Amino acid sequence: MTEQEVILCKAGKPVAKLVPYQRSTKLRTPGTLQRKIKIADDFDILPKDIAETFGERRSQ
């Protein structure tokens, strides 16, 4: 397979360029965001109006 770029055009003007995917050479270091991100205690609780929009009935 040859590596090549593909230019997408609309009305003769370039609007996007597709290029071959290149995997990162950096190794991932687990835990680098430890103590930098906080998830709220109520993260998994949907507000009543949103829950009803998705058809969930709740008795809160």
- Which tens digit of pLDDT belongs to each residue from 1-57? 567 999 999 999 999 999 999 888 888 889 988 999 999 998 888 888 888 888 866
In the three-class reduction of DSSP (H, G, I as helix; E, B as strand; rest coil), residue 26 is classed as coil
Q: What is the pTM of this model?
A: 0.37
As given in the structure block, the two tokens for residue 35 are 């103590």
Identify the pLDDT of residue 58.
Answer: 53
From the list 40, 34, 5, 33, the residue with the least C-alpha distance to 20 is: 5
Identify the pLDDT of residue 54.
Answer: 85
Residues 34 and 41: beta-carbon distance below 8 Å: no
Identify the pLDDT of residue 10.
Answer: 97
